[in-house]
Structure formats: C-alpha cells, structure tokens
C-alpha cells in the first residue's frame, strides 16, 4: 500500500516509521525541515505527566510512563532519567498530602517500567541539593523520576530509523491540498495519488483540511508555550507551583544551562511562534519568587516557543479533554494532538486505522 504522511515532526516521523515497518511504501512530506516546529520546542521531558493525575487521566499517564521507558531503552545517548523535586512551602501551593498522594500514584502506575521511586527530602536535604532555593517556609520536597531528552536529536534519530525502514523523506515539500476521495495530494510540482494520506501536520493539521474544504468533527485550539534557557546549572529538576495559579513551571538542568518553562498563551496562527516579552517577564518573575539567585534578561542564553495543538470538538464538548484524536475520512486519516512521549503508541494506533 502506498501512503503519504504529511508532517515531519515527531508524530509524522513515528507514523511513517510504523507504516514502513508494516510493509507500506511511505513518502513523508515536510514543508520545512524535519523536526523544525513544535517537536523541538518542548520541555524535553519524556514523562507520564504528573499533572494529568489531577484530572483523572490515569490511562493516559500509564501509557506515557511505559513509552518513556521505551525511549530511554532505544536511545540512551540522547535520553536520561532525571530526578525532579517538588518543594513544599508552608501555606502555599497544593497541600503536602495531595503531592504525596500524586507522586505515590505516579510511582504505582510506573511499576515495572524500571524507573526509581520518589522520596521525601527534609528542608535541610533540599537546601543541600538546591542551595539557591528560597528557604523561607520550606518544609521539604517530594521527589520523583522522569525522563529527559534532546528532543531535536532524538527526533532526527527516529527519522534515521524510518529512512532505514524504507521511508522516502521529502523536506521543503509543502502539501497544499488533500483529496480524501481519490487519495491525491497537491504539491507545488503537481498532484500525486496514494492509497492513503495521513495528515500529521501538528498545529497545522486543521489548516490543511480547511484549505482543502474537507469537513471535520474536530478543530484545534492553539496554545503557545515559551521557554527560557538561563546561564548556570542546577543539580536536579524542580517544579515550582505558581502562586495564585494552578499552573506549574519546570526548572531543569539542560545541556549545561537551566531550562525554565512554560507558559500558556492562545495563538491564532501556528507559524513561527516566539515568546512575548510578557511571557519572559512572567517566567523570570516566577523563578525569582522561588530562587535567591535572582535572574535578569542578561542571564538568558536562548528563548524558544512552540504551539500546542489542543483538540476541541465541533459537536462534542467532552472530546476537548482528549490528548489526541484520529479521524478517518475515506482515504484520509487526520491526526489531531498527541504528546512527544506517546508518539510511538499514537503511531501504532494511526497505522491500525490507516490500514483498515
Ligand atoms: C511548549 C510545549 C512543551 C511541550 N513539552 C512536552 C514535553 O516535555 N514532553 C512531551 O511529551 N510533550 C511535550 N509537548 C507536546 C509535544 O511537543 C507535541 O505534542 C509534539 O511535538 C507534536 O508533534 P507533531 O509532530 O504533531 O507536530 P510538529 O512537531 O509541529 O510537526 C508538524 C510538522 O508538520 C509540518 N507541516 C505542517 N503543515 C504541512 C504541510 N501542509 N505540508 C507539509 N508539512 C507540513 C510542519 O512544518 C511541522 O514540521 C510540548 C508542547 C509544547 C508546545
């Protein structure tokens, strides 16, 4: 079967690889360069998503925890386990019992995945590990373990595996339109027909089908997330509970610097997202609220932003809580949403539906 996969982010790459593994002739079309969009602007975590437990998404967390181990086993040179501390301050953030219950459940769901379990650190132990953390009201910290990756290089590694499995990769090849009935795609050089077309264009997936006058039950809400890379180092990861918000920020050691993120700002257009000054100010102010080594713009080594494609439904509000949705329209398969960590399991599900 001849399949066109549209989108050279991690979800498109993994889908192309999976289809090639199942014997399909696969052409992957990327309008820009591989791994040039959302998939290289992540928080670099291979994680189950501790926060999803608050929303009761236990199945999703369990699946992501399994997938996290798969990535670490496949590419140990581009991934590593990372300990993350969640400090507890008196009278601030979630109550201690709730954090303990959440981390306990996270570890339980991770049973058998080969990761170390979290533990409680006393205030003095936390001060030893994170001496710059504000110690006023600090009661201690719960720790847990997750995976960290070099998202860009890990995605290119996966693309290499896909190419070895036979995927033909076409960079600089924007797909202008798709035709669900015929399986044709329109490129700048003309039309090509396939048995199946898989639209894995991430935040652009909705734009592609709208531009092709293809109806869909789903639409995407686009939410920008920005990060700062700061000079310096930190001994382990740390989660900050943003005061007066339910949001959290990650402060992570990353390739010799400190990675700080992220934000949530609605965005109309997915093209070339950049952090706004207000997001940079918000990130620095939150860091400075918790750490004594106050940071300014002079400490910023780099900034980057990505756009989350959040699945919303035109006719079913409950679908808005789903992490990803796969929709089949004749020869066309649309993929909406999906996390980096679970890109392989999503690809398996996409291949099942594509080959039906
Ligand atoms: C701020 C932020 C932090 C995140 N952190 C994490 C994290 O730590 N861990 C985690 O698991 N997940 C994380 N995620 C989620 C994860 O990064 C994304 O869900 C994932 O990268 C999406 O991959 P994708 O392949 O669907 O999209 P993309 O990476 O955006 O790829 C889509 C590709 O399609 C191409 N394209 C678009 N239109 C066309 C067209 N018409 N023709 C050809 N090509 C086209 C684009 O150029 C692009 O390369 C984060 C997301 C954000 C925004």
Residue 322 has a pLDDT of 60
Strand ranges across the sheet with 196-199: 168-170, 25-29, 2-6, 196-199, 332-337, 324-329
Q: How confident is the model at residue 313 (pLDDT cuts 50, 70, 90)?
A: low
Q: For all residues of the chain together, what is the average pLDDT?
A: 95
Band of residue 320 on the pLDDT scale cut at 50, 70, 90: very low
Average pLDDT over residues 230-246: 93
Can you state the angle between helices 343-354 and 10-21, rounded to 10 degrees?
50
The rounded Å distance from CA 65 to ligand 1 centre is 20
Domains of the chain: 2-39+152-217+317-354 (3.50.50.60), 60-150+221-311 (3.30.9.10)
CA 9, CA 270: separation in Å to the nearest integer? Answer: 14
Per-residue confidence (pLDDT) for residue 193, from 0 to 100: 98
Q: Residue 260 is encoded by which pair of tokens?
A: 């700080």
- Pairing label, strands 45-46, 248-254: unpaired
Q: Is the CB of 68 under 6 A from ligand 1?
A: no
User: What is the per-residue pLDDT across 134-187, written as a single tens digit (0 to 9) for each?
Assistant: 988 999 999 999 999 999 999 999 999 999 999 999 999 999 999 999 999 999
Model confidence over 21-42: pLDDT tens digits? 999 999 999 999 999 999 999 9
Q: Give Rg (Cα) of the chain.
A: 21
- Are 93 and 134 in contact by the 8 Å Cβ rule? The answer is no
Closest among 196, 224, 220 to 209, alpha carbons compared:
220
Measure the CA–CA gap between 197 and 355, rounded to whole angstroms. 11
Question: How far from the centroid of its chain's Cα atoms is residue 52's Cα?
Answer: 13
State the closest ligand 1 atom to the C-alpha of 33, by its place in the atom list counted from 1: 49
CA pair distance 245, 169, nearest whole angstrom: 43
The predicted model gives 2-8 an average pLDDT of 98
pLDDT digits (tens, 9 = 90+) for 260-274: 999 999 999 999 999
Residue 11 Cα: closest atom of ligand 1: 25
Nearest CA to ligand 1 atom 35: 7
- Which of 7, 3, 2 lies closest to 335 in space, CA to CA? 7
CA 331/CA 184 separation, integer angstroms: 9
Return the beta strands (E) in 171-217 as ranges.
177-179, 184-187, 190-193, 196-199
């Amino acid at each position: 079967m001849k399949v066109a996969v549209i989108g050279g982010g991690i979800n498109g790459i993994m889908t192309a690889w999976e289809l090639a593994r199942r014997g399909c002739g696969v052409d992957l079309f990327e309008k820009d360069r591989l791994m040039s969009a959302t998939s290289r602007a992540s928080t670099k975590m291979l994680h189950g998503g501790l926060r999803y437990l608050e929303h009761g998404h236990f199945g999703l967390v369990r699946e992501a925890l399994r997938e996290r181990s798969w990535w670490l086993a496949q590419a140990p040179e581009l991934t590593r386990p990372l300990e993350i501390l969640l400090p507890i301050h008196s009278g601030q953030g979630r109550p201690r019992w709730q954090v303990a219950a959440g981390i306990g459940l996270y570890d339980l769901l991770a049973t058998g995945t080969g990761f170390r379990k979290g533990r409680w650190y006393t205030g003095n132990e936390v001060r030893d590990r994170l001496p710059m953390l504000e110690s006023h009201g600090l009661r201690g910290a719960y720790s847990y373990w997750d995976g960290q990756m070099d998202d860009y290089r890990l995605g290119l590694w996966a693309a290499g595996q896909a190419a070895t499995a036979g995927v033909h990769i076409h960079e600089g090849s924007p797909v202008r339109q798709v035709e669900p009935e015929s399986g044709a795609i329109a490129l700048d050089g003309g039309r090509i027909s396939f048995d199946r077309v898989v639209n894995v264009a991430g935040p652009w997936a909705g734009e592609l089908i709208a531009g092709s006058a293809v109806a869909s039950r789903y639409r995407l809400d686009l939410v920008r997330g920005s990060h700062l890379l700061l000079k310096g180092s930190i001994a382990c990861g740390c989660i900050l509970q943003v005061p007066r918000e339910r949001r959290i920020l990650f402060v992570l050691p990353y390739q010799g610097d400190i990675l700080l993120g992220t934000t949530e700002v609605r965005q109309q257009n997915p093209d070339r997202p950049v952090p706004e000054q207000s997001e940079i100010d918000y990130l620095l102010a939150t860091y400075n609220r918790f750490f004594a080594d106050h940071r300014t713009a002079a400490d910023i080594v780099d900034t980057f932003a990505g756009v989350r494609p959040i699945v919303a439904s035109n006719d079913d509000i409950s679908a808005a809580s789903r992490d990803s949705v796969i929709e089949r329209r004749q020869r066309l398969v649309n993929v909406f949403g999906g996390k980096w960590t679970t890109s392989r399991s999503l690809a398996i599900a996409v291949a099942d539906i594509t080959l039906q």
